[in-house]
Structure 1
Amino acid sequence: MSDDSGLWLLLAGPAGATGLYWFLYRYYRNTDKSHSFEHETAVEAKPITGSERKVSEVKGTQKTRIQGDNVNDYRKRVQRVPSDSG
């Protein structure tokens, strides 16, 4: 009888781990409450606008930077978006 009473303890570990995993998965994923973008959102395609005018051409790898880039000037690159509630 003592051999059978310890069996539930061996089964409680994997069962508890499985239950905890499922609880945490459901808690953080909220799969039953999340927004299903692919099914609930209509995206309408519009014709492409623009032109095919050639601006310049770079051959080979002589240029390592793009002319006029603002990588180092982060204050010019990152700007605040004005709020409408103002």
Structure 2
Amino acid sequence: MSDGGLELLALGPAGAAGLYWYLYRYYRNTDKSHAFERETQVEAKPVTGAENDRKVDEVKGTRNKRIEDDNVHDYRERVQRLGGDSS
């Protein structure tokens, strides 16, 4: 095989590696991205509830197969026609 053919064969993997690197840099653009952890300061405060928060109910496990008072089967009550046509 001549030297020209060997260079042509080497161009395939080199081109693939170059394309991979180009696409990686294009989509990752790590040199242009915002470094949230370094550039942003967030002051954490303790989690507190409002004074009027109160516990209403407690459901443990998955005993109830449905949500109480759901309207899944009440299609006619949930969906109404637009316009004045009542038929």
Gaps of 5+ in 2: 73-87
- TM-score, scaled to structure 2: 0.61
Partner of 2:59: 58
| Structure whose CA Rg is larger | 2
Q: Distance in 2 between matches of 1:41 and 1:66?
A: 41
1:28 aligned counterpart, secondary structure = helix
Q: Distance in 1 between matches of 2:25 and 2:71?
A: 44
2:9 aligned counterpart, secondary structure = helix
Gaps of 5+ in 1: 72-86
Q: What is the total number of aligned residue pairs between the two structures?
A: 70
- TM-score, scaled to structure 1: 0.62
Is it true that 1:11 corresponds to 2:10 in the alignment? yes
Q: Distance in 2 between matches of 1:70 and 1:50?
A: 31
Q: CA RMSD in A?
A: 2.8
* Deviation for aligned residue 1:28: 1.9
Q: Distance in 2 between matches of 1:60 and 1:48?
A: 26
